Amino acid sequence: MLFYFLRRLAGLVPTFLGITLISFTVMHLAPGEPMSLQADFNPKMTPEMRARLRAQYGLDKPLYVQYTRWLEGLAKLDLGRSFAPDRRPVWDKIRERLPVTLLINGLSLLLILGVAVPLGVAAAVRHNSLFDQVTTVIVFLGYAAPTFWVALLLMLLFGVKLGWLPISGVHSLMGYEQMGAVEKLLDWARHLILPVFVSAVGGLAGLSRYARSSMLEVLRQDFITTARAKGLPERRVVYVHALRNALLPLVTILGLSLPTLIGGSVIFESIFAIQGIGQLMWTSVLARDYPVLMGNLVIVSVLTLLGNLLADIGYALADPRIRTGGGR
């Protein structure tokens, strides 16, 4: 198992370098430059001034030199400085916004796990029943509906029409500082209900389908028939013998769902005006702020690779054949 873990860990380094190299190249070959917003509509901008701006940002150097410099900074845990007028360190900007994004995505993941797996198991146990058909329709509607559309509908219903929930930010702007600890907690909870649900709706629909399919496949296995023939209670057959085996494929899906949730933050954080990583990424794209974009990319890439690693380790722990094959 240790050899399998080390081998998988060593494989992450070239993968990470490949991701950053491709992303850096594509980003810099795309049309437009960071100084375009300052220079294109400024009649006083001369070619000399534009050249000085390019030199200031380091964009006058060949692309491989720029990437090597960025990589050297990353080796020292220095993500560089933003191209924005404030010229703040990239890590400071990311550090300010990362906690709220992780909080929302963590709550979203808990919601997905708490609802999707039981729903998928219940649909598989009641295969072809009315419950199965109704949940299938609801799940496919949730899976097919665009996230931004769902978010706007919920904001219109619960925020505008009914007035039950706030539709922007993570806490109230007025009177928040005077609130007690419990009141602040409730205020955060009210603000996060809609973003967490919107973030979870796509993953919830997809994971419940995976759970249903995996459970159906296991329930058709011979060992389940044998367990039933022995007279074991149906609850024990389903929730002990079948569910444990059906969860194996879901481990991989869960590992891959983490970067998807982070990527989805761009949509719901922009819609709900939440100062998180997703909104920072979106504004950086518009401003062509390459250092901040690469910093965000590093965070997402690391989470993606760690998610894959955890999924592989979980799968190997659950199925010894995986690590046995890796050890050869």
Task: For the chain, list the domains and their CATH numbers.
Answer: 98-322 (1.10.3720.10)
Which of 120-144 are b and which e, b meaning 16 or more Cβ less than 10 Å from the residue's Cβ?
Answer: bbbbbbeeeeeebeebeeebeebee
Q: Rounded to whole angstroms, what are the CA distances from 40 to 33, 34, 36, 265?
A: 10, 11, 5, 31
Q: What pLDDT, in 10s, does the model give residues 214-269? A: 888 888 888 888 888 888 888 888 888 888 788 777 776 776 666 666 667 788 88
Strand partners, 81: 89
Q: Is the pTM of the predicted complex or chain greater than 0.85?
A: no
Phi, psi (deg, nearest 5) at residue 186: -65, -35
The band of 328, judged by pLDDT with boundaries at 50, 70 and 90, is: very low
Distance CA 236, CA 244 (A): 11
To the nearest 10°, report the CA torsion of 9, 11, 17, 23: -100
Query: What 3-state class would DSSP assign to 81?
Result: strand
Residue from 153, 157, 121, 123 nearest 138 by CA: 123
A 10 A CB-CB count for 164 gives 11
Q: What pLDDT, in 10s, does the model give residues 168-213? A: 888 888 888 888 889 989 999 999 999 999 888 877 888 888 888 8
Distance CA 266, CA 287 (A): 15
Q: Which long-range contacts (CB under 8 A, 24 or more apart) does 72-79 make?
A: 74/20, 74/298, 79/291, 79/294, 79/295, 79/298
Share of the chain above pLDDT 90, in %: 9
